[in-house]
Amino acid sequence: MSPPSSSAPPIFALIDANNFYVSCERVFNPQLEKKPVVVLSNNDGCIVARSQEAKDLGIRMGEPFFRAKHLIQSHGLIWFSSNYTLYGDMSARMMALLGSFAPQQEIYSIDECFLDLAGIQQDAVSYGQTIRRRTRRYLGLPTSVGIGKTKTLAKLANYLAKKRPQYGGVFDWQACEPLIEDYLMAQIDVGEIWGVGRRLRMQLRVMAITTCRDLKYAPTSLIRQRFGVVLERTIAELNGLACLALEDAQTSGEKRKQQIISSKSFGRPITALADLSAAVLSYTARAAEKLRQQDSICSHVVVFIQTNSFSTHQKQYANSITLPVIVASNDTRRLSAVAIMGIEKIYRAGYSYKKAGVILLGLHPAAQQQGNLLMADPYARTSKVMHIMDHLNQKYGANTLSLAGAGLQPHWRTQAAQRTPNYTTAWDEIAPAYANR
DNA sequence: TCTGGGGTCCTAGGACCC
DNA sequence: TCTGGGGTCCTAGGACCC
C-alpha cells in the first residue's frame, strides 16, 4: 500500500456492518442464518436490530417488542436480549481490521467507520469488495461500503450499496455519470440523507423538496435562512464540496466527551425515595467511572426522574435539577453527595417512577483542577481509593466494588431474559465449537 | 401487562457588562 | 424622566445521529 500524498483531496468510504447486533449473534450461532432474528434494547423493551428476514416481516426499528411477539409463534421469530459486552468486543476487532485498509480511519459508531481512500492505488470499487470479503472471512460479519467525495455522499452511497443487490454491497458515486447520479438521487427520499430526520423531512416536503435530488439543487440561501447552517452544509456536501473532515484519533486527540450520561429504565416501576436514591447512586458511580476513564472532572451534575410517559392511566411527573459541584471533581463520593441532594429535591411521593438518570456537565481535564481557598477537598488525600476501585472493577467485573448505598441485587435492576454468553471476553463462556479447537 | 441509552451541534433568549 | 449599541457567557430546548 502506498502512502497517500497529504495534498490529495479525500475520498471517503463508509463501511458499516449489516444488522450488526444480529450479525454478531449469528457468528456464534450459524443456525440463525436465513431466519428472522431481532435483538432488543435494555429491559427487552424495544427492537434495536433486525435481520433482513425480520425486516421483511414488517418489523420496524425501535418498535416495542410486545407488538411483535405474536410473530414468534406465527413466523418463528427468534429474539435476544442485547449483549453489549459481545458487540463491543466484536466492534473493536472489526475496527482494527478495517483500520488496516487505509492510513486514516474515523470510528463513527459501534458498527461503522469512515476511511480515507485517497492515495490507494486501486480501483475504489474493487478495493471495497476486498474490504467486504476480508471482513466476512476473518470475522464472519457482512458489511456494505459506500464511497464518495464527501461524508454525506459516502453515507448515501452506503444506502444504495445496502438496498440494491445489483451493486454487490459496494457503491461509488465517482464511478457514476453526473446524469446517472441525479437520476439515482431522484429516486431516494430526502429523509435518507444524513442529517435529515423526521421533523426536517416533514418541513422540506411542505416546500416540495422530497428527494435527494431536490435538496441537492435547493436554493441554499433560503435553506440557510430557514433551517440554519447545518442543512446548508449538507447541500454543499451533496454537491461534492467536502465540509466535514475525517476525524481520526490524531485530529480529534482521542476526543474527550463533553457530557457523560448514565440513565436507565427500571425493570419495574419504583415508588420509594430509597430505591430511587439507590438507582441514582449506581448511575452516578457508572458516570464517574467514565469521567475518570477520560481523566476529566466535572463541575455540574444533572439528576432527572420520570414516570412512564406511555402510560395513559397514571399521574405523570418528570423533573430534573442541575446542581454545581463546589469543587469540580471526579470522585464518586463527592458526586454522589451532590446527586443525592438533587434526587431529594425533585422527588415527589405518590408517583410510579420508570426511569432516572444522571448527566455530568462542565467537563474539564483533571489537570486543570483549581484549588479552592475556602473549601479544601476533603477527599483529596484519599483519591487513591477511586483508583483502586476502578482497577478492581476492571479486573474482576463491574460492581466488584461499589458504594454501600447502591444495593447489591436491587429489584429494579434491568431485565434481560435471553442474553447470549460473552463468547469472546470470558473464558468460561467461550463458544464450545471454538473452545475445542 | 410490556415502549432504550447514549451522544453531538446549533440557536434563541436572558443576564450582565461596558 | 428620558434612554444606545454591542459584546460575552450561560442555559434551555430542539434537531439530529447510532
**pTM score:** 0.91
Task: Tell me which protein residue sits closest to nucleotide B6, measuring alpha carbon to C1'.
Answer: A261
How many angstroms is C1' of B16 away from CA of A129? 59
For residues A27-44, average pLDDT: 95
Which pLDDT value is given to residue A236? 96
Which pLDDT value is given to residue A2? 45
In 3D, which of A311, A310, A289 has the Cα closest to residue A298? A289
What is the DSSP code (8-state) at residue A211? Answer: B
Name, in order, each residue with C-beta under 8 angstroms of A437's C-beta and a sequence gap of 6 or more. Answer: none
**Is residue A301 predicted with pLDDT exceeding 60?**
yes
Contact A243, A216 (CB under 8 A): no
For residues A230-248, average pLDDT: 94
pLDDT digits (tens, 9 = 90+) for A306-316: 999 888 888 88
Does the CB of A201 fall within 7 Å of any strand C atom? yes
**Is residue A142 predicted with pLDDT exceeding 60?**
yes
Band of pLDDT at residue A1, cut at 50, 70 and 90: very low
Give percent of chain A with pLDDT exceeding 90. 72
| HSE, side-chain direction, 13 A CA sphere, residue A293 | 15
How many angstroms is C1' of B12 away from CA of A260? 25
Neighbours of A166 (CB within 10 A): 6
| Cα–Cα distance list, A295 to A255, A257, A259, A329, A364 (Å) | 11, 11, 13, 11, 9
Which pLDDT value is given to residue A327? 84
Helical segments of A140-257, H only: 151-163, 178-185, 198-206, 212-216, 220-227, 229-238, 249-252
Name, in order, each residue with C-beta under 8 angstroms of A246's C-beta and a sequence gap of 6 or more. Answer: A10, A12, A104, A105, A106, A114, A116, A151
Q: Which amino acid is at A116?
A: D
Better-scored residue on pLDDT, A397 or A155: A155
Task: Tell me which protein residue sits closest to nucleotide B4, measuring alpha carbon to C1'.
Answer: A41
Separation CA A175–CA A170 (nearest Å): 11
Kindly list the strands in the beta sheet with A105-109, ordered across the sheet, starting from the edge strand earlier in the chain: A105-109, A112-116, A12-17, A143-148, A170-172
The residues close to strand B, meaning Cβ under 7 A, are A 41-43, 45-46, 48, 62, 64, 66, 228-230, 255, 257-265, 283, 290, 308, 310-311, 354-355, 357, 414
Q: Which nucleotide in the DNA or RNA is closest to residue A357, CA to C1'? A: B5
Which pLDDT value is given to residue A339? 93
pLDDT digits (tens, 9 = 90+) for A354-368: 999 999 998 988 877
pLDDT digits (tens, 9 = 90+) for A74-112: 999 999 999 999 999 999 999 999 999 999 999 999 999
Band of pLDDT at residue A437, cut at 50, 70 and 90: very low
pLDDT digits (tens, 9 = 90+) for A45-63: 999 999 999 999 999 999 9
Task: Tell me which protein residue sits closest to nucleotide C10, measuring alpha carbon to C1'.
Answer: A362
Q: Which grid cell is A165?
A: 443487490
For residues A263-289, average pLDDT: 93
How many angstroms is C1' of B6 away from CA of A284? 15
With residues binned 3-state (H G I as helix, E B as strand, rest as coil), the percentages for chain A, rounded to 5, are 45, 20, 35
Which pLDDT value is given to residue A191? 96
A232 phi, psi to nearest 5 deg:
-60, -40
The average confidence (pLDDT) of chain A is 90
Better-scored residue on pLDDT, A100 or A398: A100
For residues A422-426, average pLDDT: 88
How many angstroms is C1' of B8 away from CA of A5? 31
